[in-house]
Chains A and B, each alone.
Chain A
């Protein structure tokens, strides 16, 4: 039998074998083990699903914050240099310089816990244990006047913590709120009588490559 013929036959056999297997699972991938899922599944939802057992106090959180976080976020959470502030900013959302901190903007405390646990400290992520993350979260909540200085945050009382701006969001409504952007027949000729230049990028002069841009703090 020629090589190509034997290949064709083998292929046909394979096809025949797999044809009725539409409902059957292809032998690709393997079962994820519970220990593997536990190692990677560290996400936490606003309803508390995913929180590990543990607790941490504002007091411990302050110590940890000074050790692990203050170099970038500032001793009072005000943010050092261009690093983001994590405290303050309340009442700033309508202003010219909104400051989006957990206290001023973030809707859910679970996001603080989840994010610190997965991504902080910057450059040494996933080095904090659950109790450390509870403590740092508690301290951030204290800094933003959501809890008192004696507060101890735990998986048991987590759901009771509400952030001030929880109701400050609505789902994408562009298709209704901006429906004027659809279906217009745009003007093509003599659309304006006068055109004025209102602003120049050069007035700010922050483009790299021309001159060094200013440091914005």
Chain B
């Protein structure tokens, strides 16, 4: 290992406080045979665990650092707080269930499916109650992959670069394949009256979370889901039932969904007045800003995942849009002087994360890395400066500005803002 490499690894280790890298500890010399090959390793000699000793499989013991993390100073209590998806450690487009970011308003409700009920009432012909077993017997079950982004994702960055790591700056997003029913099937079953224009959706946790949703959206593509990535929803994600509101801010995706009321006006609940409204520079605020605009972030290199060595490297990142399908992602290594289209790989689906790559050769020069997403509506992800020009810095929500990572000559990577 060259001294430059070692420095990089040390830098990364010191920065993360992570366990010593196996490679760094091995200290193999370039001119000597690699003991990882020439010596018989423990795992190649003795028997490992048999089947069913791990009835629910977990990640390798060497992946213990890949976890959700929170920012202690951000909120008053962990029951009403957020933990962030470790985007820098993931690849592809699907977020593993146990790593999907959490946002709870009254902790994780643990609700047994036998005791869970879904009520539909208000301006309907037939107010009804459904059990989980009945929902599973409904015709028209469907599977869809959608991103869910908290409206406050990147909210700490309005006034400038603040947190070092895409987990913290962009980790309030996840992307999962859901199984459930189109909400339309349930609403049609109950018969929405002609004056029914809005839904109030409510969760069963101790915050009884509520949001108003226009009927058009509910009929278009909302779903009630009981499974994510092929297994039951995790309690943190609303087991046994959650609402999906594709492309719209995560707060509306009510977890532990227990009630849907149909009405003729919005309810102006706490989460759509005092929260999730976007305060502008003139002291007035936008409300009902439901759609998540196109956004992207480079997940590697990033402060928690600096480049491992000089030479060939793979830049990787995620892009998404609440208005449809991502059409193109551009990346720059020189702070926006020059851009090139990234290579999108894997499924390209509307209202889903897409994965992009850009291979590059790093000679050790300083890099200023950015990505820029363009969606099918022609929306081009703006710079943070452009966003601030129209919104000021008090919005908290809907910060989809272009992110910059500075890679220093020693490999340390930092969240910065540039001209």
Are A and B physically bound partners? Answer: yes
Q: Do B70 and A210 touch across chains, with their CB atoms under 8 A apart? A: no
Q: Do A29 and B134 touch across chains, with their CB atoms under 8 A apart? A: yes
Q: Do B418 and A208 touch across chains, with their CB atoms under 8 A apart? A: no
For B380, the closest partner residue in chain A by CB is A184
Interface string of B321-359 (1 = CB under 8 A from A): 000000000100011111110000000000000000000
Whole-angstrom CA separation of A126 from B207 in the bound complex: 9
Residues of B within 8 A of A72 (CB): 76
Q: Does B220 contact A (CB under 8 A)?
A: no
8 Å CB contact of B285 from A108, A114, A169, A186: A169
Given the known inter-chain contacts A26-B189, A169-B284, A208-B69, please indicate yes or no for A186 contacting B161, CB distance below 8 A: no
8 Å CB contact of A196 from B134, B168, B419: B419
Q: Do B168 and A208 touch across chains, with their CB atoms under 8 A apart? A: yes
Q: Do B339 and A191 touch across chains, with their CB atoms under 8 A apart? A: yes
Interface string of B77-98 (1 = CB under 8 A from A): 1011000000000000000000
Q: Does B368 contact A (CB under 8 A)?
A: yes
Residues of B within 8 A of A214 (CB): 73
Whole-angstrom CA separation of A26 from B188 in the bound complex: 11
Q: Do A195 and B285 touch across chains, with their CB atoms under 8 A apart? A: no
For B390, the closest partner residue in chain A by CB is A178
Given the known inter-chain contacts A98-B279, A119-B207, A122-B106, please indicate yes or no for A43 contacting B417, CB distance below 8 A: no
Taking CB atoms and an 8 Å cut-off, the chain B residues in 126-150 that contact chain A are 126-130, 134, 137-139
Given the known inter-chain contacts A168-B285, A183-B378, please indicate yes or no for A209 contacting B268, CB distance below 8 A: no
Given the known inter-chain contacts A181-B380, A192-B336, please indicate yes or no for A170 contacting B284, CB distance below 8 A: yes
* Among listed A6-14, A53-61, A149-157, A197-205, interface-contacting one: A197-205
Interface size on B, residues (CB 8 A): 94
Taking CB atoms and an 8 Å cut-off, the chain A residues in 35-78 that contact chain B are 36-37, 40-47, 72
Q: Does A148 contact B (CB under 8 A)?
A: no
Whole-angstrom CA separation of A72 from B80 in the bound complex: 13
User: Is chain A's binding surface mostly helix, strand, loop or mixed?
Assistant: loop
Q: How far is the CB of B399 from chain A (nearest CB, A)?
A: 13
Q: Do B274 and A29 touch across chains, with their CB atoms under 8 A apart? A: no
Q: Does B406 contact A (CB under 8 A)?
A: yes
Q: Do B105 and A213 touch across chains, with their CB atoms under 8 A apart? A: no
Whole-angstrom CA separation of A82 from B81 in the bound complex: 12
Q: Does A5 contact B (CB under 8 A)?
A: no
Q: How far is the CB of B398 from chain A (nearest CB, A)?
A: 8
Whole-angstrom CA separation of A123 from B77 in the bound complex: 11
Q: Does B187 contact A (CB under 8 A)?
A: no
Q: Do B419 and A195 touch across chains, with their CB atoms under 8 A apart? A: yes
Q: Do A174 and B268 touch across chains, with their CB atoms under 8 A apart? A: no
Given the known inter-chain contacts A28-B137, A122-B80, A196-B418, please indicate yes or no for A171 contacting B334, CB distance below 8 A: no
Q: Do A82 and B283 touch across chains, with their CB atoms under 8 A apart? A: no
Whole-angstrom CA separation of A209 from B18 in the bound complex: 10
Whole-angstrom CA separation of A190 from B134 in the bound complex: 61
Q: Does B409 contact A (CB under 8 A)?
A: no
Q: Do A186 and B288 touch across chains, with their CB atoms under 8 A apart? A: no
Q: Do B338 and A190 touch across chains, with their CB atoms under 8 A apart? A: yes
Q: How far is the CB of B34 from chain A (nearest CB, A)?
A: 32
Q: How far is the CB of B139 from chain A (nearest CB, A)?
A: 7
Q: Do A37 and B337 touch across chains, with their CB atoms under 8 A apart? A: no
8 Å CB contact of A209 from B69, B207, B282, B382: B69
Q: Do B129 and A32 touch across chains, with their CB atoms under 8 A apart? A: yes
Q: How far is the CB of B78 from chain A (nearest CB, A)?
A: 12
Residues of A within 8 A of B66 (CB): none
Interface string of B262-281 (1 = CB under 8 A from A): 01010111100110010101
Q: Do A43 and B380 touch across chains, with their CB atoms under 8 A apart? A: no
Interface contacts beyond A84-B76, A126-B208: sample of 13 additional A-B pairs, CB < 8 Å, sorted by A = A28-B138, A31-B126, A40-B258, A46-B268, A94-B281, A111-B270, A123-B206, A168-B283, A172-B290, A186-B339, A194-B419, A210-B164, A215-B73
Can you sample 5 A-B contacts with CB below 8 Å? A41-B259, A98-B279, A108-B268, A174-B286, A209-B16
Q: Residues on A close to B: CB < 8 A?
A: 25-26, 28-32, 36-37, 40-47, 72, 81-84, 93-94, 98, 100, 102, 105-108, 110-111, 114-115, 118-119, 122-123, 125-126, 168-174, 177-178, 180-184, 186-204, 206-210, 212-216
Q: Residues on B close to A: CB < 8 A?
A: 15-17, 69-73, 75-77, 79-80, 105-106, 119-121, 126-130, 134, 137-139, 160-165, 168, 189-190, 200, 202, 206-208, 210, 258-259, 261, 263, 265, 267-270, 273-274, 277, 279, 281-291, 293, 303, 330, 334-340, 368, 372, 374, 377-380, 382, 386, 390, 394, 406, 414-419
